[in-house]
């Protein structure tokens, strides 16, 4: 599901720039020309974030923020002209989430958007977790969890060890011997089929992403994503 952003600014040009960059990042954009219009839209629709210019006709940014806050709990990023430090404080004390000084670099704005939206993500504890992601497969090394298309996959200890090792060494041809010694231990002297068996189990745990586990005949395996 796409994240929705409401952009409120009286300058058509600014809105267009933000829209362009934000849509490129995969957000869905709605525009409003002033505070009143923003308020009207917010009564009817929900957003994940509102980007709000401070200087606007009709209803200025702070008042708009205050009014919208009364009916919805949505994060705000304020756009303010340079040198309005008092305004910044004012904004922060109103409980806004961030501000960007005009003229701003669109890339910087997008970064702040990501941070603010990511912060309010309930499960988005991405911070601090060593995570690998490819399409719908998420491997969280820190939390020792694997998610397939948003659904938790319960792996066995050996499956975790094997997967973690292969993901950490992805896109590399991993010889059978190497996998055995690295995952099982140097002293392991076991059956030929043990590795295959665990690859099989891992594949079944990965569901559609079993295709990431490529067999290299005569050599070993490669995790490819």
Interacting residues toward a second copy by CB under 8 A: 66, 69-70, 72-73, 85, 88-89, 92, 94-98, 105, 107-108, 111, 114-115, 118-119, 125-130, 142-144, 156-157, 171-173, 216-219, 222
> CB 216 → a second copy: shortest distance, Å?
6
> CB 86 → DNA: shortest distance, Å?
40
Strand bridging mode 76-81 / 49-53: parallel
Q: Please work out the total of residues on this chain that contact DNA, with binding judged by CB under 7 A.
A: 25
Alpha helix stretches (DSSP H) within 131-192: 157-168, 176-179
Contact by Cβ (8 Å): 176, 195 = yes
> CB 48 → a second copy: shortest distance, Å?
15
Q: Per-residue x/- mask for DNA, residues 172 to 211, rule CB under 7 A?
A: ----x-------x-----xxxxx-xxxxxx-x--------
Report helix angle 35-44 to 61-71, nearest 10.
10
Helix, strand or coil, per DSSP, at residue 194: helix
Nearest residue (CB) to a second copy, 26 versus 157: 157
Measure Cα distances from 22 to 38, 78, 145, 170, 180 in Å.
18, 16, 30, 31, 46
Nearest residue (CB) to a second copy, 55 versus 141: 141
> CB 142 → a second copy: shortest distance, Å?
6
Contact by Cβ (8 Å): 146, 139 = yes
């Amino acid at each position: 599901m796409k994240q929705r952003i409401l952009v409120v600014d009286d300058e058509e040009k600014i809105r267009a720039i933000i829209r362009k960059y934000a849509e490129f990042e995969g957000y869905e954009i709605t525009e409003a020309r002033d505070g009143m219009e923003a308020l009207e839209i917010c009564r009817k629709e929900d957003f994940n974030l509102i980007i709000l210019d401070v200087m606007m006709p009709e209803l200025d940014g702070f008042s708009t923020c205050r009014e919208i806050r009364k009916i919805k709990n949505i994060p705000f990023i304020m756009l303010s002209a340079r040198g309005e430090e008092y305004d910044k404080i004012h904004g922060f004390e109103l409980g806004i989430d961030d501000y960007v000084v005009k003229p701003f670099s669109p890339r910087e704005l997008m970064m702040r958007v990501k941070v603010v939206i990511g912060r309010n993500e309930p499960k988005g504890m991405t911070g601090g977790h060593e995570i690998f992601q490819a399409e719908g497969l998420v491997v969280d090394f820190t939390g020792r969890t694997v998610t397939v298309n948003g659904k938790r996959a319960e792996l066995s200890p050996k499956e975790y060890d094997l997967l973690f090792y292969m993901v950490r060494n992805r896109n590399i041809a991993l010889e059978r011997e190497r996998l055995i010694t690295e995952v099982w231990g140097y002293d392991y002297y076991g059956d030929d089929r043990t590795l295959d068996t665990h690859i099989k189990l891992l594949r079944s745990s990965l569901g559609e992403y079993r295709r990431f586990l490529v067999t290299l005949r005569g050599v070993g395996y490669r995790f490819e994503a």
